[in-house]
Chains A and B, each alone.
Chain A
Amino acid sequence: MQRIGDAPALRRLLIGAAVALSALFLLLPLVAIFAQAFSQGLGTFWVNVSDTYTLAAIGLTLFITALTIPINLVFGVMLAWLVTRFAFPGRRLLQTLIDIPFAISPVVAGLVYLLLYGRNGWLGGWLDAHDIQLMFAWPGILMVTVFVTCPFVARELIPLMQAQGSREEEAAVTLGASGFTLFRRVTLPNIRWALLYGVILTNARAVGEFGAVSVVSGAIRGETNTLPLHVELLYQDYNTVGAFASAALLALIALFTLAAKAGLEWRAARREALA
């Protein structure tokens, strides 16, 4: 088969340009992270990573992520089920609304939460009177993290569930399946890979969120400092190697995300080829 742009010289030129530019703008920064982190040897890297404050930051980040994922998983599945399985007024609007976090600058996202729940905010006075502190504490970090990551699961599921349609589920209903059985036995097997991918994306963003979290965290070392904030703090303290040690941990999670995504896509492509 012949296609436009198949001439060997052109092909080599375009592939060369694409590879060279990608290496320069994407691969080089990735390499630089690890080069910096290990620039003073493995020992120093280990000292940096096992520092008390770093460990505390890792702990907080894992804690926030571990709470964010199930919340958004439930919401994403519910929303996807709602908008792909039922017709009701306002369905389109609902689908548009969940894209809000993608449209909003993270700093603005942090700001609106601060305005609502902070000391001077609408609910802040009431919360203060009852001695509940949300902002500059982990609940605030969790809230903004849930906000910025809430579209991911739903966004992966909606197009897939729309394409699959509801025939299989309707068939299951005629066979007497109901509620949770129906979801677990019929729906879940069809959407599990998209669900997993949504979780991986949620995880990557939850671990790495910086702008929104930095507004509501207060960045108290050992208490409200997440790993990305810790990276910033060390970098501003001119502890470059320390900053990059933590950055390398985050980059590893990013690499895992890329590998998982590539793996899932490869799997999907292979199944399509077999089908």
Chain B
Amino acid sequence: MSQRAAGSRLPLPFPGRTQRVLPGFGLSLGISLTFVSLVLLLPLTGLVGQLAGLSLGEYWAIISEPRVVASYAITLGAAAVAALVNAAFGLLLAWVLVRYDFPGKRALDALMDLPFALPTAVAGITLATLYSSNGWMGQTLAPLGLEVAYTWVGIALAMAFTSIPFVVRTVQPILEDLPHEIDEAAMTLGAQDGVAFRRVILPHLWPALVTGTGLAFVRSLGEFGAVIFIAGNMPYETEITSLMIFVKLQEYDYVGASAIASVVLATSLALLLAINLWQGRFIRRLHGGN
């Protein structure tokens, strides 16, 4: 870059424009901006362009079509169940992995990342096979009257599977950093385990737990590959919103697909923004500031 040349010039006469010490500002800025514009932002304009041709009434008609609305309800409901299940499971796993030592702990820790490492389609066909009526789990659960495959329970299960790491991996570092004096202070003041966990430890984990659960929820809303195989995809019953977009695309209804996609996109972005804002407020209180 021109850093050398700049160094040989006279000092810049503008106050506040300090010379950068490290090289590569221009290069890295150029590459980053080009990449972000071309790869991340430009494609989003395609969606805007497609929707621009629609009147508000037409837009509303597409996104409020009964079959689509049913898919919202199924997706939101299953994702909520998956996120809550993961909140409990993730908290348990984070606690056990941080607080206890036992044989196989490292393997268990590594296993937590499986859902992120395993391709979603593989997870999808595996869960569908396991929980179908002649699969290992399906056979076990059928006598109990529990049907998982091709019901919303299956959808929630697949969503829960793919989003397991979120809660574990957000809570784990916070729990690790919790100083042991916090436990000890609670114990010297006479608190029993249950009370101490609820009133002293849980409040510290709360922001991470909510963030992790929120991320799991957002991920579940958009999940596709893992869900479609086990869902059965019956209109009004087990059709998720991502599938609705896919179906519209296969019918070459690009406008319909775009309209529904915009709803999904707006929901995800709004949720992420909300999580970030909430987290920021909570953290400020713990770290001072008035």
Contact = CB atoms under 8 A, between A and B. Distances in A.
A and B touching (C-beta < 8 Å)? yes
Interface of A: 1-5, 7, 10-11, 14-15, 17-19, 21-22, 25-30, 32-33, 36, 74-75, 78-79, 81-82, 85-86, 88, 94, 97-101, 103-109, 111-118, 120-122, 143, 146-147, 150, 166, 169-170, 173, 178-179, 182-183, 201, 204, 207-211, 214-215, 228-229, 231-232, 235, 240, 243-244, 247, 250-251, 253-255, 257-259, 261-262, 266
Give the residue among B49, B224, B264 with the most A Cβ atoms within 10 A: B224
Contacts of A27: 111
Interface of A, secondary structure class, is: helix
B40 A122 contact: no
A106 B221 CA distance: 11
5 closest A-B pairs (Cβ-Cβ)?
A208-B119, A105-B222, A116-B46, A115-B46, A210-B225
Contact of A105 (B4, B193, B197, B264): B264
B31 interface: yes
A231 to B, nearest CB: 5
Contact of B108 (A17, A18, A103): A18
Contacts of B44: 112
A251 B122 contact: yes
B269 A111 contact: no
A29 B130 contact: yes
Interface of B, secondary structure class, is: helix
Contacts of A101: 40
Q: In which size bucket is the chain B interface?
A: 35 or more
Interface in B18-66: 20-25, 27-29, 31-32, 35-36, 39-47, 49-50
A174 B272 CA distance: 42
Given A15-B100, A18-B96, A22-B108, A228 B129 contact: no
B110 interface: yes
Contacts of B96: 14-15, 18
Interface of B: 1, 3-4, 20-25, 27-29, 31-32, 35-36, 39-47, 49-50, 89, 92-93, 95-97, 99-100, 102, 104, 106, 108-123, 125-127, 129-130, 135-137, 160-161, 164, 180, 183-184, 186-187, 193, 196-197, 200-201, 218, 221-225, 229, 242, 245-246, 249, 254, 257-258, 261, 264-265, 268-269, 272
Contacts of B193: 4-5, 7, 10
A111 B257 contact: yes
Nearest to B182: A4
